[in-house]
Chain A
């Protein structure tokens, strides 16, 4: 069955009729009003929408950081709502990697430690002791690929915005996730640095990495191979780069 996903026949991640609303004081704000989306293995999908259109909410639901009010998200054919809490934790740890607009690195850890944190989090103390060499070597390799080999011992506050985002990408890739979910990854960067990040994404996608990226900037979205536009809580438009 996994072969089907690998051969692009079936979507690896699928959202069916997703509804989500939030309470803001006395009023209930409906953010998502029946979103359907399917992402195939190896795709680079950009979700575009204006501020408040619900694109980040959709990404969080796809990555199991939040639950929909209605509708289902399936990963490799299995609904996330049927996962136990332990399975959901493993899903977040192994199957998806998140890249956030504000990088979200841990200030107490250095660059190398931030990158191998997901590997460390998935192991017990004894398990970690037996695999730490591999994990450190993998983290160093990722940092080298991202051009941060010399910055391994630095603290996040010693890095520029672009460097921090590349560290966040390294962390997201540490456990070789099936899908990379990026929420406005260039939103906090200047255009040159943002383009550098997109170059990294394109390169990753070129190696077969599935990427779902949320952005409000259509020019950035154009770097993806498929663009999905979210407006008023629904998918309004889909386009594929030729």
Chain B
């Protein structure tokens, strides 16, 4: 009991202890804020990438694509296979959505303008793609009904003279990555203005069709395919590279543009969404097994060599190249703040060394009344625990309160001093993430307490080893 009483009294009565508490509080505050923001950014980025591709991707990086994708989709979507196809049993039992995708590159030119831009095009079936990925939620005007997003655009009701008329029935519509269509203000907000239906913006998409062997399909003739689409909506995935470079087009149209239509139709990828109860790795393994079996069966078919380049990957693996740098950044920051933790240990070590030097007389007194060395260690480690607990509690509460208001603080700084943590005109970041994760908070608090106890360990051990006569001599006073 005396250990608890003395540890608390040392904490309250010794002013130097306040510096140790303050050092711990500052370290915990900084780590809580930085880790929360960074973890929030990484977690948000991973979630957006997951939403962009679904759970699993069967695909190839080749622009040529692969054949028989429809046959494999049929297998994936089959709920009740016939006994002859028992190897594909219950594929549909773990799959929630399948979407074929064509990815290629193109030049886009706004009708009436001279400039063209190089972009990526993505051919999708909007309904299937929305069942598999978060595509519908990225749209501005067609969130609730994605089925007609690529339909030929109609005049809006506001134009009485042309109300409900199809603009040009020969043109389908397209969706532009939001940064291709709109600009952001300094606070990261997009200004929509006229709706695409009112704007009558037609965009010519030009691309180079390829044969199954990768050669130019129209060599010696026109070389390129061009088709015009109306701009009908924007897609804001929250991924900067996607939003400033991708144009979404109807799947069949892109197939024609890229030379992938014909008797052996081709696609670049099949995006797959698993049922909620299916674990990612287990689902991907099942799809991989199905793909292996499918590939073997098709090995003697025409253009089966294109299947060799196809891989089955989870979304994490498929988007690894994009996610990994951010995760590395997070690891780097964690390591840097590990160094901050070491600094805390050193500060606590110095403070405890000073405190224990001042308290050597107390140690002598305690030993003279029969207190054991282990109890001296427990007393000062308890003291260090209290310093860590109080410091980390102050730091954690301070960090939490700061995070609650971090966006308001940033807005105020921007309004008064023009300071922004991230330039919203450049980075696809909305609010600064400020959701404190309980698990991370606990890890930080426990680490701070352990750091304090580690810092106090050596001075405490030295204190325990002191001989009472050495500390109680007149010359020591």
Contacts and interface: CB of A to CB of B under 8 A. Distances in A.
Contacts of B2: 117, 120-121
Nearest to B361: A104
Interface string A113-129: 10001101111010011
Contacts of B13: 107-108
A108 B9 contact: yes
B366 interface: yes
Nearest to A184: B474
Contacts of A105: 365
A91 B370 contact: yes
Contacts of B364: 104
Contact of A106 (B365, B367, B467): B365
A129 B370 contact: no
Interface in B247-275: none
A66 B4 CA distance: 28
Given A101-B474, A109-B9, A121 B469 contact: no
Interface residues of A, number: 34
Interface string B1-29: 11011100110010000000000000000
Nearest to B365: A104
Tell me which of A98, A100, A104 has the highest count of chain B C-beta atoms within 10 A of its own C-beta: A104
Given A101-B474, A106-B365, A129-B1, A92 B370 contact: yes
A25 interface: no
B81 interface: no
B289 interface: no
B113 interface: no
A90 interface: yes
Given A85-B372, A109-B9, A121 B366 contact: yes
Given A66-B469, A102-B474, A108-B10, A120 B368 contact: no
B371 A121 contact: yes
A65 B370 contact: no
Interface of B: 1-2, 4-6, 9-10, 13, 361-362, 364-373, 375, 467-469, 472, 474, 477
Contacts of A129: 1
Contact of B1 (A102, A106, A125): A125
18 contacts: A65-B467, A65-B468, A85-B372, A89-B370, A89-B371, A92-B367, A93-B371, A102-B474, A104-B365, A104-B368, A106-B362, A108-B6, A108-B13, A113-B5, A117-B2, A120-B1, A125-B1, A129-B1
B1 A123 contact: yes
B363 to A, nearest CB: 11
Contacts of A121: 2, 366, 369-371, 375
Contacts of A63: 368
Contacts of B361: 104
Nearest to A168: B365
Nearest to B477: A102
B370 A94 contact: yes
Given A98-B368, A117-B2, A120-B5, 5 more contacts: A66-B469, A90-B370, A92-B369, A100-B472, A106-B365
Tell me which of A101, A106, A113, A120 has the highest count of chain B C-beta atoms within 10 A of its own C-beta: A106
B234 to A, nearest CB: 67
A89 B369 CA distance: 8
Contacts of A125: 1, 4
Nearest to B368: A98
A118 B370 contact: yes
Nearest to A123: B1
Contacts of A89: 370-372
A41 B373 CA distance: 31
A105 B472 CA distance: 11
Contacts of A122: 370
Contact of B368 (A85, A90, A92): A92
Contacts of A101: 474
Contacts of A93: 369-371
Contacts of A118: 369-370
A60 interface: yes
A66 B1 contact: no
Contacts of A65: 367-368, 467-469, 472
Contacts of A108: 6, 9-10, 13
B28 to A, nearest CB: 27
Contacts of A100: 472
A171 interface: yes
Nearest to A114: B365
A107 B364 CA distance: 14
Contacts of A92: 367-370
A122 B474 CA distance: 27
A55 to B, nearest CB: 13
Nearest to A93: B370
Q: Which 6 residue pairs spanning A and B have beta carbons closest together?
A: A93-B370, A108-B9, A92-B370, A128-B1, A89-B370, A120-B2
Nearest to A95: B370
B295 to A, nearest CB: 70
Contacts of A85: 372-373
A171 B104 CA distance: 89
B369 A117 contact: yes
Contacts of B472: 65, 100, 104
Contacts of A117: 2, 369
Interface in A101-155: 101-102, 104-109, 113, 117-118, 120-123, 125, 128-129, 132
A86 B362 CA distance: 20
Contacts of B468: 60, 65-66
Contacts of B469: 60, 65-66
B372 A86 contact: yes
Nearest to A188: B474
Nearest to B473: A56
A123 B370 CA distance: 11
Contacts of A90: 370
Interface string A170-181: 010000000000
A90 B367 CA distance: 11
